[in-house]
Amino acid sequence: MQTLRDLKHNFSIPPPATMAGAPDPYHQGNIRMTLEDQELWKSFHEIGTEMIITKPGRRMFPHCKINISGLVPYAKYILLVDMVPEDGFRYKWNKDKWELAGKAEPQPPYRTYLHPDSPAPGSHWMKQPVSFLKLKLTNNALDQHGHIILHSMHRYHPRFHIVQADDLYSVRWSVFQTFTFPETSFTAVTAYQNTKITKLKIDNNPFAKGFRDEGTNSKRAALKESGEVKEERFSPWGGVSDRESSHVLGQDSPVGSEARDVYSSEQLVPGHSSYQPYRYPPSTCHAGSGTGSRVPDIATVPEHEGKAAAHEPGPTHCPPNLASTPQDYPGVLNMAVGQAKPAVLSHHPLYAPYGPEQALGQWGGASSAQYPPAPPTHHHHHHHHLATDYSTQAVHHGYHHGNVSDWSQYPLFSYSCW
DNA sequence: TCTACTTCCACCTTTGAATTGG
DNA sequence: ACCAATTCAAAGGTGGAAGTAG
């Protein structure tokens, strides 16, 4: 795969050491984010985390939970999560390890999960760990529930974005700070491939208690693991016996070390992805009722049930659609991403999700949202246009303790729509 | 045939409303 | 009247097995 070469290029950009130097005016520097349950994540990561994706949507396990600090207590923020491809390949599980199985499929509709508490003051987010327990992954490209759509047998990692914004409509003009944690990367699957992963899930997920062996086992008795694989601990990823995957970054690589490098880079610099501002389809542009008009419709139908309600009017009522949906969808923004190569995602639109009315369908046509040709985005352009490059991250790969978080900041929707 | 995906199921946790106790 | 603890039933999350699709 020559693609690797390409990838390399993209990734080879050295992480600008802290580029924090160029903080945006808007952003108040020092925001920090750490991953909770790191040990658990690591134990999965060492083996090669797999996340089940189903048509109706499946939760993640471990689920994403983070600690945030450095926010302005009284300022309001919106917290988002999206999943970015780890690379441009498709994989297959052969016997006891992952192997490359061709090029990645084109990106499905790109969606972003909005934390149901958004928007909320910094004090709220910092008060206790923020969990994304209800985020669900699906393989149904036509999903109407606002779940994050992924391709099975492809690798991804979650990205956490924090944006200072009073309401969803102002998100576009705000600066995003993005964090990623190498140990949270995973392979989306429709059924578990690595039995060790299955076992770890069963042993740690309370909902799977019924499958545990312990004394009282009623279900699946012996799994007989006749010796399966010996040392796999560190190497489900193919050839390379890189046991070092343990290092945070490494893990991913599928095949050879070559690939590995790529990954590493990526992790370090998560994204060179540049976000591009996206324009909404005209029609929707002004959808927003009151607020800014342009706004994306963010669909947030927060699950009401939860807690949300309290502050703020439902996220501003968004466009009709939101309101219309009765369900408790977690709020989600859909964004389309440019497809692309692994690392380069390009931009996205956000719009809203699912409402019956607007649901994807609406855009469907118009938008190219779905599989936009990846614009040749260059990374670096901060200025106007979309800019964004991620810069930096300090991820220190912290091995253990550290949490690796990288942060990058970039202005996201710099422009408004058209 | 093989691999990926879907559906259904037993088993369990979670949720939340109703009830009880102080 | 008020609030915390308890109870209980309904809702819903698990992975496995078996079936389907290609």
Q: Residue A220 CB closer than 7 angstroms to strand B?
A: no
Determine the pLDDT at residue A21: 37
More confident residue, A315 or A212: A212
Instruction: Record the tokens describing residue A327, joined without a space.
Output: 């369900």
**Higher pLDDT pick, A240 / A163:** A163
Cβ burial, residue A210 (10 Å; 0-12/13-18/19+): exposed
Q: What is the mean pLDDT of chain A?
A: 59
CA–CA distance, A131 with A63 (Å, rounded to integer): 7
Residues ≥6 apart with Cβ < 8 Å to A273: A84, A343, A344, A345, A346, A379, A388, A389, A390
Please report the pLDDT score of residue A180 as a whole number: 97
CA distances from A271 to A155, A196, A344, A379 (A): 15, 30, 7, 10
Share of chain A above pLDDT 90, in %: 40
Task: Answer yes or no: is A366 CB < 7 A from strand B.
Answer: no
Query: Whose C1' is closest to the CA of A52: which nucleotide?
Result: C15
The pTM of the whole model exceeds 0.75 = no
A192 CB-to-strand C distance under 7 Å: yes
> Is the pLDDT confidence value at A404 over 80?
no
Mean pLDDT along residues A292-320: 30
Query: In this predicted model, what pLDDT tens digit does every residue of A341-380 receive, in sequence order?
Result: 222 222 333 333 333 222 222 222 222 222 223 333 222 2
Cβ-Cβ contacts under 8 Å for A411 (sequence gap 6 or more):
A24, A174, A175, A176, A275, A382, A386, A387, A388
- Residue A115 CA and nucleotide C13 C1' are separated, in Å, by 20
Q: Say which nucleotide is closest to residue A95, CA to C1' distance.
A: B3
CB A219 within 7 Å, strand C: yes
Distance A317 CA to B14 C1' (A): 29
User: If you average pLDDT over residues A7-17, what whole number do you get?
Assistant: 32
Q: Is pLDDT at A243 greater than 50 in this prediction?
A: no
Q: How far is the CA of A205 from the C1' of C6 (A)?
A: 26
Structural domains of chain A sorted by starting position, each given as residue range(s) with its CATH number in brackets? 32-208 (2.60.40.820)
As a rounded value in angstroms, the CA-to-C1' distance for A34 and C6 is 37
Does the pLDDT value for residue A338 go beyond 60? no
- What percent of chain A shows pLDDT beyond 70? 44
Query: How many Å does it take to go from CA A213 to C1' B15?
Result: 27
Task: Please tell me the distance from the alpha carbon of residue A292 to that of residue A285, in angstroms, as a whole number.
Answer: 9
- A186 CA → C22 C1’, Å: 26
More confident residue, A11 or A109: A109
Q: How far is the CA of A304 from the C1' of B18 (A)?
A: 22
Query: For A183 and C6, how far is CA from C1' in angstroms?
Result: 41
pLDDT tens-digit readout, A162-189 = 999 998 888 777 788 999 999 999 999 9
pLDDT of residue A63 exceeding 60: yes
Statement: the CB of A361 is under 7 Å from strand B? no
Nucleotides of C under 7 A from a protein CB: 12-18
Torsion of CA A409, A76, A128, A110, to 10 degrees: -50
SS3 state at A122:
helix
Per the model's pLDDT, the better-predicted residue between A227 and A149 turns out to be A149
Which nt has its C1' nearest the CA of A198?
A: C15
pLDDT of residue A235: 56
Q: Is A216 near strand B, with its CB below 7 A from some atom of it?
A: yes
Residue A412 has pLDDT above 70, yes or no: no
The Cα–Cα gap between A160 and A271 comes to 12
Q: How many helices (H) and strands (E) does chain A have?
A: 8, 18
Q: How many residues does chain A have?
A: 418
Running DSSP on this structure, what letter comes out for residue A238?
Answer: S
Of A389, A98, A125, nearest to A255 by C-alpha is: A98
Which residues are bridge partners to A175 per DSSP?
A411
Mean pLDDT throughout A32-37?
96
In the three-class reduction of DSSP (H, G, I as helix; E, B as strand; rest coil), residue A139 is classed as coil
Q: Is the CB of A306 under 7 A from strand B?
A: yes
pLDDT exceeds 70 at position A304:
no
Single-letter code of the amino acid located at A380? H
